[in-house]
Chains A and B, each alone.
Chain A
Amino acid sequence: MQVFFSIGVDALAYGMVLFIISIGLSVTMGLMRVVNLAHGAFAMIGGYIASYAARDLGLGYGFAIILAVIGTIIIAIPLERFLYRRIYGAPELTQVLMTIGITFCVIGLANYVFGPTLKTIPLPADLQGPVNLGFRTIAAHKLFAIGCGVAVALGLWFLIERTSFGVKLRASVDNTAMAASLGVRTRIVYAASFALAVGLAAFGGVIGAELLPVEPYYALRYMVTFLVVVSVGGAGSIPGALIACLLLGAIDTTGRYLVPEYGEFFFYLAVIAIVWVFPRGLLGRAK
């Protein structure tokens, strides 16, 4: 029983970190129909900004997070205006080629500017160290990550399903021409949702930095995992991404706990099984 709870807590924490980073990608891929392989790069940029703000400028953790999100969005605005706008609705191969190119550029720049070493984001005292849960201890920042994940999930669900912006976004995605003729300024809607996705990536990059440390190859290293989460959950579905993260986190953690010598065998076996039964992902929308 103790083992069960122990695995459960770890799985929940890992799944939530995955969720915060991947949900932005789910938005770009599902709602905006852009296969954005530069998503990891934006998460990494967020991590670098937070690390710079907290370590070199001596700002608090909260400020570092805000600065990382805003800074990453500012960097992403010209990219959206001059590069991404050209590939909305373009064939997937074009999108993949352009965004992977952006990723390599970001990796090179990060390597040049910050060097190849690991960068950490110092945690405030409250989030450091273990918290005793009775049956085991868990890192305080993992509890914080779980909380952030829940907040992000609820906030996004509300934004997309319950606000007028969400209505406009879904309308623009389903039929751009019709939405525009009804007075929706689709360009602004697209730019805003791109900024939202990038901001979430940066937020996840900072919150998840304890598990996925920031270094130049971050942008590529974890991209496969993020893509797997989106395809299992169903692109564009927030509950889908949440279920996928928790499920995959649980399978990965259990496998690692009980039979580590099998590596990621069970993780990918589960992915194959799910995508076989649900080709659009667990809660994917029909096209």
Chain B
Amino acid sequence: MKKLILAAAAAILFSGAAYADVIKIGVVGPFSGPFAIQGKNFKAGIDAYIATHGDKIGNDTIEVLYRDVPQADPAQSKALAQELVVKEHVQYLAGFYFTPDAMAVTPLLQQANVPLVVMNAATSAIVTKSPYVVRTSFTTWQTSAPMAKIARERGVEKAITVVSDYGPGVDAENAFKSTFEKEGGKVVESIRMPLSTNDFSPVMQRVRNSGAQAVFAFLPSGPTTLGFVKAYNENGLKEAGVQFLAPGDLTQESDLPALGDAALGILTTFHYAIAHDSPENRAFVEAARKAIGNPAELSFPSVGAYDGMHVIYKMIEATGGKQDAKKAVDAVKGLAWESPRGPVSIDPETRHITQNIYLREVAKGSDGTYYNKEIKTFEKQPDPGLAPAK
């Protein structure tokens, strides 16, 4: 009997990474509820990567486990991450659509010996909370700051900012304001709207009265965007020549059919457009559309997830399938590759992704569909938000 137990113990001990392991990746995101479409995009990006790169690295098989946090809920996010680490023995955590959800998990990483690959959550400070965080999405600072330069280039002297009153909105306001004023412009007024605003007409009247030549806006993508853009048109701001500027969250591809003609001519800056013209992107979009089912639902979180998987695959290759968070994260510091969004690299200092930011204009294609047309590129942008966050 003793021998049997010993043998069993030895078998458990030595079955480490020697052959044919299953390496589990735990993905936390909103897969049901009002933000389900973003979780669907995570899954589409991950499925697209596995479909094009296979589910095997060496002899090891990759298995992805999904956990659902429908709305920003740090406590639940942390509980699910713990469950993934303790019960499912995942070697990697990934996903995270909302900043608070990602923040809640960062204290676990060191003890659990698990790297966290953030596939969306866009507040700059997340990467500073743990040395085991790598981000493959973007930050609101990164996508908003170039817009201020565009505004100045186009001769805008006076601008007004209008943002939803929550973390990312305030980030966007600060990013635009500080860059715009550094470039010599003046922000005449900064309006913060409650998140639950349905009628934007009063806001638009204030924009009009402020005498600004351009309005910089940030709202969470989804239903409010539609009302906001319509109010902009209906209150005659478009005719009055007040330029609409925003980061690309506002014109994400899955909202464009609903926005329709109202969105034409809106200028946005963002890290990724589904219409991006490159062979890598065409291959990605084809695979991701197949994965998501309805092509109209494909949007930017899918590319964050796709590149997140790329980073995780590289980590697994570097560690040979053994659980070693430090080695895994060190291996991808400075990693550069050609993403569907263009050339990208992981900044060795911040572990955030350095990428091109594109200026886009909403345009109508010859087949009557709307898309984000890239008209200018800001190459190799780091995250300008990390300096002020410190």
Contacts and interface: CB of A to CB of B under 8 A. Distances in A.
B199 A256 contact: yes
Contacts of B223: 118, 212-213, 215, 217-218, 221
Contacts of A115: 37, 294, 296-297
Interface string A51-87: 0000000000000000000000000000000000000
A210 B230 contact: yes
B188 to A, nearest CB: 15
Contacts of B203: 256-257, 260
Given A215-B222, A217-B34, A256-B203, A116 B297 contact: yes
A253 B204 CA distance: 12
B257 A256 contact: no
Nearest to A257: B202
Contacts of B365: none
Nearest to A15: B199
Contacts of B61: none
Interface size class of chain A, counting residues whose CB lies under 8 Å from the partner chain: 35 or more
B198 interface: yes
A39 to B, nearest CB: 17
A216 B297 CA distance: 14
Nearest to A117: B254
B269 to A, nearest CB: 23
Given A137-B236, A213-B227, A257 B206 contact: yes
B191 interface: yes
A213 B40 CA distance: 21
Given A115-B297, A253-B199, A256-B202, A211 B227 contact: yes
B260 A264 contact: no
Interface in B220-243: 222-223, 226-227, 230-231, 233-236, 239
A6 B205 contact: yes
Given A117-B296, A130-B235, A10 B258 contact: no
B234 A139 contact: yes
A86 to B, nearest CB: 29
Given A210-B227, A215-B222, A118 B258 contact: yes
Contacts of A260: 165, 191-194, 203
A119 B165 contact: no
Contacts of A118: 222-223, 226, 255, 258
Given A10-B205, A218-B223, 15 more contacts: A7-B202, A111-B36, A116-B36, A116-B297, A117-B257, A130-B234, A139-B235, A213-B227, A215-B222, A217-B223, A256-B193, A257-B202, A261-B165, A261-B192, A263-B196
6 nearest interchain CB pairs?
Answer: A263-B194, A139-B234, A118-B258, A257-B202, A116-B37, A137-B236
Interface of B: 33-34, 36-37, 40, 165, 191-194, 196-199, 201-203, 205-206, 222-223, 226-227, 230-231, 233-236, 239, 254-255, 257-258, 260, 294, 296-297
18 contacts: A10-B199, A13-B199, A117-B297, A130-B233, A130-B239, A137-B234, A137-B236, A139-B231, A142-B201, A210-B230, A217-B34, A256-B197, A256-B203, A257-B205, A260-B191, A260-B203, A261-B192, A263-B165
